[in-house]
Structure 1
Amino acid sequence: MENTTEVTEFLLVGLSDDPQVQILLFITFSLIYLLTLVGNLGMTELILLDSRLHTPMYFFLSQLSLVDFGYSSAVTPKVMAGFLTGDKTISYEACVTQFFFFVAFITVESFLLAAMAYDRYAAVCKPLHYTTAMTTKACARLLVGCYCCGFLNASVHTGNVFRLSFCRANVVNHFFCDAPPLLALSCSDSYVSEMVIFFVTGFNDFFSILVIFISYLFIFITILRMRSSEGRSRSVAFGISKVTTLNITIEGQSVHTAPLFLFLFT
């Protein structure tokens, strides 16, 4: 069967059809998006302007802020426009673009967290070699690698989802273009696409979490071997703050990935 796309636009269900609720949601999303914009871009500008923060850790933190702003901007403006105008339609091309950049930025974030964990491993476990290991060139290579993996992953997922035919209803049961609701609309056999998403997403998540886990495992082992109680307490406090940040980020990403696994196994 030839894969031909007959749907030219999609209708996003959104969060509510009640006009009063939509106004409240618009105000809420606007405030959250504004805080995200000010917080992330403000963090990036602060790190850029303060020479004392020109270290690998803050370099990756600034990139993480930009990526967070990126995938928020891939989804939020269209959602806010829908709340304000009541127009929930999105063209096929806009849906492809939204899906691509959302997947790209959220994947880059996962690999950036792994790079930050490696940076902390080098700082705590190999302090004498840290300046030679985490040079400007090394940080740039890690950053380029994160973006290459992110955009390659997005290309795979985008091609994998939108190669299918969408010739049934065009109502997307979500407030943005995401893989599970799009696959549910396809009139083609989506089994191969589902398996590709499952294995590629699983590999990316497993690799990132493995690097993070191993890095922090060695960090805590190094902390336990420290003789100075002051140095140990400072390192423990630092480690707890980083793990808490990591946990919050992973929980935020699970909001996106959990529906996919539920979709595949139900």
Structure 2
Amino acid sequence: MPVMKTNEWLIDHYHDPVELCKKMKPLFPGVSALEIHDYFRMHGMYQELDKSGTALVDTMEVNDVWTIVEKEHQALRKKWKGPDVPIVILPSNTADKKLMSATNGKAGLAFSDKLFLFVPETISEQELKALFIHEYNHVCRLWHTKKAENSFTLLDSIILEGLAEHAVRERLGGAFTASWTKLHSKEKIEKIWKKTILPKIKLRKSHPLHNQLLYGWRGFPKMAGYCVGYYLVEDYLNTNQLCTVDLLRVDAESIADLHPSK
């Protein structure tokens, strides 16, 4: 399945994003266009700017945004034996200072059967690839493990994030991994793992503490869960002399050197 032609949608409906979101209703059965729009806005989708959709699309096409993602999708689908999922690319909210500071204005949403990228119109090729690699790795792990999202624990989440960013490192090099991979020393991450994350690994995704620990909110170390996940995946890869593709089906407890009964 090719990358969806959101360039055409943007030209027609840029200033009416709810109408644009109607195009995605088949991907979310039973969900209204307004609900889709609100959900996307929460995760980085653009707010209407004082420009035409045509001008924005022209810039994104000059930067080969859709072509780069399509090529990377085909390459990784073959390499990871992953699914051929719908991929939706939309502009991100570059007016969001927090988003710009944290990720240079890019964001993504991954499901086992679809993927969404929110990107600034001037995104570089390597940044775009890094975002897609991370999100498509999520898609592949969700698809291969067949684990329902509502059964996800904190342990599942941190391993998911750590594995995805190691996939970026393998394909593009360490220079293009997220800044949080270099946020804490190994010694500090080991302490965060043992004292902060390990006692809470069975928390379900729906629990309020899940995201606080994952992102390091409300007094927890910044990006705590992400950093621990990256550390645990790295240790497992090095110990077993494996590549990230080998871990797509491996359960989180094994990667973290735990047993389900612990």
Which of 1 and 2 has greater Rg? 1
Would you call these one fold, judging by a TM-score over 0.5?
Answer: no
Higher relative contact order (CA 8 A, sep 6+): 1
**Where is the helix percentage greater, Structure 1 or Structure 2?**
1
